[in-house]
């Protein structure tokens, strides 16, 4: 089966006054049909820009400088703006951390949803309204018929995020890219939304890229996980494998830094140091200033290694008994 999405050697750079900022640097990955992939990493590591690049939403001074983005086999980077607009919203949808990026505060939710339906499908207003109502119902909004006439500000934060998800679902896309959509929400509400998303993705056969800095959320939701550091994917593989037997020292560092990794009350174990400034990354492995396993060879570029469904870029990966 062809993957829904195949990203090959994607590089997205920002031409800033202080130099070229390599936000995304030679990133390759695939997303299979119906697959849920988690993209994790520290803030500034390039997660959002990866998502924006796929959707053609990178604005100057940023530019995709290299790579291919194959969506169901077609290269999105070669598509006309009109063709891209059709794909965006209809075949690929995005959900943002702030639902107000999607919602217009002065229009009722129903008006916005009906417009979204009619933007891509030639259907009557009544039919578009019925589809909008059903989508609200699917994401667990009570009395969806009445809520169509409400304005975004009449919803709570969690409800607004559900509306944004309902809008993303209107055209039953093949792929949804969700950029930290539950980060601002409470655990109980986050849990409801993860539950709904997981159910809907399975029901409609949608694939999902779930961007988050919360390993716990990705652990619970995703099939596969990709770990990003300084513009690169440094490790990728099945969630269970990566989280229980990480090969890359950055992945293991992230896992050791969570409070649950040490007994209660004991000092936590942060990764030493800080992420490098994206304008002055060290040559070779960008993690090398912070890595306990680094040696001289790490000043050269670690190549991507692929072993047993796991990919990583590291000269001295952790070894696990089975490996």
Partner 1 sequence: MTNPLVEAVDASRRFSRKLDYAEKIANLFGAGLEEKTVHAVDGVNLTVYPGEVVGLVGESGCGKSTLGRIMAGIMPTSDGEVRWQGKSLAALQGDEKRAMRLSAQMIFQDPMSTLNPRKRVIDLIGEAPKVHGIVKGREVRDYVASLTERVGLDASYLDRYPHQFSGGQRQRIGIARALAVKPKLLVCDESVAALDVSIQAQILNLFMDLKREFGLTYLFISHDLGVVKHICDRVVVMYLGRVVESATPDELFDNPKHPYTQALIRELPSVTDRRRVFTPIKGEIPSPLHPPPGCHFHPRCPKAFDRCRVERPVLKKNGPGHISACHLNDLSATETKNATAETAI
Ligand X SMILES: Nc1ncnc2c1ncn2[C@@H]1O[C@H](COP(=O)(O)OP(=O)(O)O)[C@@H](O)[C@H]1O
Q: What percent of the chain is helix, strand and coil (3-state, nearest 5)?
A: 35, 25, 40
Distance from C-alpha of 13 to C-alpha of 21, rounded to nearest angstrom: 5
Q: 74 vs 240, which CB is nearer to partner 1?
A: 240
91, with CB counted inside 10 A (0-12, 13-18, 19+), is: middle
Distance from C-alpha of 24 to C-alpha of 207, rounded to nearest angstrom: 22
| CB 298 to ligand SF4: min, Å | 3
Sheet holding 207-212, edge to edge: 92-95, 175-179, 207-212, 36-40, 224-229, 232-238, 310-313, 304-307
Piece of 51-59, 70-78, 173-181, 254-262 that binds partner 1 (CB under 8 A): 254-262
| CB 218 to ligand X: min, Å | 14
| CB 149 to ligand X: min, Å | 35
Piece of 90-98, 122-130, 157-165, 167-175 that binds partner 1 (CB under 8 A): 157-165
Query: Is the Cβ–Cβ distance between 189 and 158 less than 8 Å?
Result: yes
Query: Is the Cβ–Cβ distance between 239 and 256 less than 8 Å?
Result: no
Of 12, 48, 102, 252, the residue at the interface with Mg ion (CB under 5 A) is 48
Site string for ligand SF4, 262-301 (x = CB under 6 A): -----------------------x-xx--x-xx---x---
State yes or no: residue 67 binds ligand SF4 (CB under 6 A). Answer: no
Query: Is the Cβ–Cβ distance between 227 and 255 less than 8 Å?
Result: no
| CB 234 to partner 1: min, Å | 14
Q: Could you give the 3-state DSSP secondary structure of residue 263? A: coil
β-pair partners for 68: 8
Q: 62 vs 302, which CB is nearer to ligand X?
A: 62
| CB 281 to ligand SF4: min, Å | 12
Of 249, 251, 310, 311, the residue at the interface with ligand SF4 (CB under 6 A) is 249
State yes or no: residue 252 binds Mg ion (CB under 5 A). Answer: no
Distance from C-alpha of 48 to C-alpha of 97, rounded to nearest angstrom: 10
State yes or no: residue 255 binds partner 1 (CB under 8 A). Answer: yes
| CB 76 to ligand SF4: min, Å | 31
* Residues 39 to 68 in contact with partner 1, rule: CB under 8 A: 42-43
State yes or no: residue 233 binds ligand SF4 (CB under 6 A). Answer: no
Distance from C-alpha of 163 to C-alpha of 141, rounded to nearest angstrom: 8
Helices 81-90 and 109-120 sit at what angle, rounded to 10 degrees?
Answer: 130
**Residue 311 is inside which H or E element, if any?**
strand 310-313
Q: 92 vs 234, which CB is nearer to ligand SF4?
A: 234
DSSP state of 171: T
Piece of 27-35, 86-94, 124-132, 258-266 that binds partner 1 (CB under 8 A): 258-266
* Contact positions vs ligand SF4 (CB under 6 A): 248-249, 285, 287-288, 291, 293-294, 298, 302, 314-316
Which residues in this chain contact Mg ion in the complex, by CB under 5 A? 48
């Amino acid at each position: 089966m062809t993957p829904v999405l195949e990203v090959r050697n994607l590089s997205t750079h920002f031409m800033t006054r202080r130099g070229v900022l390599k936000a995304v640097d030679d990133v390759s990955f695939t997303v299979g049909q119906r697959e849920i992939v988690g993209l994790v990493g520290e803030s500034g590591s390039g997660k959002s820009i990866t998502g924006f690049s796929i959707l053609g939403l990178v604005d100057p001074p940023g530019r995709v400088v290299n790579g291919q983005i194959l969506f169901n086999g077609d290269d999105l980077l070669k598509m006309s703006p009109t063709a891209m607009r059709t794909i965006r919203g209809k075949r690929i949808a995005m959900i943002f951390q702030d639902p107000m990026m999607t919602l217009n505060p002065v229009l009722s939710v129903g008006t916005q949803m009906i417009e979204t339906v009619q933007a891509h499908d030639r259907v009557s207003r009544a039919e578009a309204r019925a589809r909008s109502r059903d989508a609200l119902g699917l994401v667990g909004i009570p009395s969806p018929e009445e809520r169509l006439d409400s304005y975004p500000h009449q919803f709570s934060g969690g409800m607004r995020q559900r509306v944004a998800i309902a809008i993303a679902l209107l055209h039953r896309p093949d792929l949804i890219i969700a950029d930290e959509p539950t980060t601002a929400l409470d655990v109980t509400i986050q849990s409801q939304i993860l539950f709904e998303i997981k159910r809907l993705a399975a029901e409609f056969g949608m694939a999902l890229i779930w961007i988050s800095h919360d390993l716990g959320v990705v652990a619970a939701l995703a099939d596969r996980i990709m770990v990003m550091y300084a513009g690169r994917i440094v490790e990728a593989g099945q969630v269970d494998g990566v989280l229980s037997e990480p090969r890359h020292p950055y992945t293991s560092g992230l896992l050791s830094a969570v409070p649950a990794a040490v007994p209660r009350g004991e000092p936590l174990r942060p990764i030493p140091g800080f992420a490098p400034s994206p304008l002055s990354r060290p040559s070779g492995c960008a993690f090398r200033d912070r890595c306990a396993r680094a040696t001289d060879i790490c000043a050269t570029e670690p190549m991507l290694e692929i072993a047993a469904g796991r990919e990583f870029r590291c000269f001295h990966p952790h070894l696990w008994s089975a490996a």
